[in-house]
Chain A
Amino acid sequence: MMKCIKCRGKAHIKLPRHNARFCADHFVEYFHEQIQKAIKKNKMFTHQDNILVTVSGGKDSLVLWEALLKLGYQAEGLYLDLGIGDYSQKSKELCMYFAGKRSLTLHVVSISEWLDMGINGIAKKVRRPPCSSCGLIKRYLFNRFSVEQNYQVVATGHNLDDEAATLLGNLLHWQTGYLSRQSPVMPSNHSNMVKKVKPLYRLTEKETGAYAIIKGIDYILEECPLAVGASSIKFKKVLNDLEIQSPGTKQQLYFGFLKKGKKTFMEEDKVELKSCTRCKQPTTIDLCAFCQLSDRLSSS
């Protein structure tokens, strides 16, 4: 029997990159320690801050919300309804169930309230990949909602696999602008901008999945139907193949970038934010990308 390295009880998970094996209780302890380390090392937030967790109904965001509450932080949720048929309906119900069971505050915002249609319709009208419009809309509405509702920080469920896959994609295409901004913390550089943090960046997708099982968190198992074939999934598979051969690869890639690589790109790519002439949200151009998208949708 494989034994927990802490208590010598039955181990339920093996973490080769840490040369560790944990029982359920000690795995939860390890998981919380990694989150605390991420929060403290990057000065993400304190127990006095009001945190908005953006939840999708997937495992990572619900696990993040659960863990922050267990660690004593004040965290409320925001679900953004993307209008993707049954997928959005099911994921919204799971978020509402999670919040209802724990008597938590969950805000629900629908993108059709803002743009009169869902992601499918938007992608067709602007002839861009759905994920590209979706990312833009999410960033805008998460920020605008948190500013208007006076949250100090927005927390997302991005994990180590997400960050390593994004980094690999940015490196393969030498996206120096994205490389300069990829970080567990995006500070507020504008009066209408809220700090964004990724407290799960030290934990793998397998670990968030294991935490969800141990804590009995119901989450949506279906992948977003519009994300099928996404590059990020291909990069994750490649990285996991390397991880099996050489445990710690994903961590070395991302943590090494944060420590040694990122500063090179930061010096190259300094951008100044100003206010959108219409909505006053942060932008690098006069009319922000969201307002431009809105104009394009109403004119076509």
Chain B
Amino acid sequence: MKVIIETPPKNEYHFPKGMKVSKILKQLQLNPESVIVIRQSELLSVEDWVNEDEEISIRSVISGG
């Protein structure tokens, strides 16, 4: 599974097997309240499952200034 962090500085991670969004966020130490997860324009919830051959994007929603 490929995970792209969209918000600059951009980053990319690979996981060898499928897992739930909540577990992906936990492994990347991301707070579910601070990000949204997208699979081909579809919004994913923390309960969604992502297969090992899929790609998802994670976008921070925190803005400042």
| A residues lining the B interface (CB < 8 Å) | 1-2, 11-14, 21, 24, 58-60, 131, 134, 161, 204-206, 208-210, 213-214, 216, 221-224, 226-227, 230, 232-233, 236-237, 240-241, 243-244
| Majority-rule SS of A interface residues | helix
Decide yes or no: A227 and B64 within 8 Å by CB, A2-B45, A14-B46 being known contacts.
yes
| B residues lining the A interface (CB < 8 Å) | 6-8, 31-36, 38, 41-48, 59, 61-65
| A residues in contact with B41, CB < 8 Å | 213, 216
Decide yes or no: A226 and B61 within 8 Å by CB, A14-B45, A210-B36 being known contacts.
no
| B residues in contact with A209, CB < 8 Å | 36, 59, 61
Instruction: Specify the chain A residue showing the minimal Cβ separation from B44.
Output: A12
| B residues in contact with A232, CB < 8 Å | 64-65
| B residues in contact with A233, CB < 8 Å | 62, 64
Do B34 and A237 touch (CB < 8 A)? yes
The 4 closest A-B pairs by CB, nearest first: A227-B65, A233-B64, A209-B61, A2-B47
Q: Which of B8, B42, B45, B47 has its CB near the most chain A CB atoms (within 10 A)?
A: B45
Do A226 and B65 touch (CB < 8 A)? yes
A57 smallest CB distance to B (angstroms): 11
Q: How many Å lie between the Cα of A131 and that of B64 in the bound state?
A: 10
Do B64 and A236 touch (CB < 8 A)? yes
Q: How many Å lie between the Cα of A192 and that of B32 in the bound state?
A: 43
Do A213 and B63 touch (CB < 8 A)? no
B7 smallest CB distance to A (angstroms): 5
Decide yes or no: A213 and B31 within 8 Å by CB, A221-B59, A227-B65, A232-B64 being known contacts.
no
| A residues in contact with B59, CB < 8 Å | 209, 221
Which of B6, B32, B43, B65 has a CB less than 8 Å from the CB of A224?
B65
A12 smallest CB distance to B (angstroms): 4
Can you offer 24 A-B residue contacts whose CB atoms are under 8 A? A1-B47, A2-B47, A11-B47, A12-B42, A12-B43, A12-B45, A13-B43, A58-B63, A205-B61, A206-B33, A206-B35, A208-B61, A209-B36, A209-B59, A213-B43, A223-B8, A227-B63, A227-B64, A232-B64, A233-B62, A237-B31, A240-B33, A241-B31, A244-B31
